[in-house]
Amino acid sequence: MFLLKNTFLGIFLVAGLFLSVSYFLPASYHVERSIVIERPVSMVYPKVSNLHKWVDWNPWTESDSTVKTTIKGTGKEVGSVWSWNGKLVGIGSLTLQEVQPNKKISSKLAFEKPQMFESDDIWTFEEVPEGTKVTWINEGELSYPINRVFGLFLDGMLGPDYEKGLKNLKQISETY
């Protein structure tokens, strides 16, 4: 009886500590990476603004040979949707919400599996003396309590993939 009582007390204390700590964690996150591409924005922007071109540089479709993708709409206009389904990348979609030619692209990113999660995916393009500064941002809200803890790891999980995607984009932009 003593062991059972202490086990329940331990579980209760750990759960209470988890809930208390996660309450004070940020309720939102922001992941951002940038790169300078030695080409004018007019040559870089179309490779991101056209969902049909994402397969050329996107790090996730490159990493999952089972992924199947579909595009609804033109792939370039607000409302166009890029959907995917793969063993490693899961099931999700990206819906274009705002398109400012040669300046900004905003999309809603939605994952269905392995876990339901929504966020904002934002691209900005800025002319700089060396060419075009491209910034890729992902941000969103984190529900209490589990996603707030998960949020502590998002920069470390997404950041390297964003860096790889930007390097791929730089390579194809500067090559073609």
Q: Could you report the per-residue pLDDT of 136-166, keeping only the tens digit for each? A: 999 999 999 989 998 999 999 999 999 999 9
User: Is the predicted pLDDT of residue 127 greater than 70, yes or no?
Assistant: yes
Domain that holds residue 78: 27-175
CATH of the domain at 110: 3.30.530.20
User: Would 14 be classed as within a structural domain?
Assistant: no
Long-range CB pairs of 15-22, under 8 A, 24+ apart, other chains included = 18/145, 18/149, 19/145, 21/149, 22/144, 22/145, 22/146, 22/148, 22/149
In the chain, the number of structural domains is 1
User: pTM of the entire structure?
Assistant: 0.90
User: Would 13 be classed as within a structural domain?
Assistant: no
User: Is the predicted pLDDT of residue 18 greater than 70, yes or no?
Assistant: no
User: Would 47 be classed as within a structural domain?
Assistant: yes
pLDDT score at 5: 78
56-95 per-position pLDDT tens digit:
999 988 888 899 999 999 999 999 999 999 999 999 999 9
User: Would 60 be classed as within a structural domain?
Assistant: yes
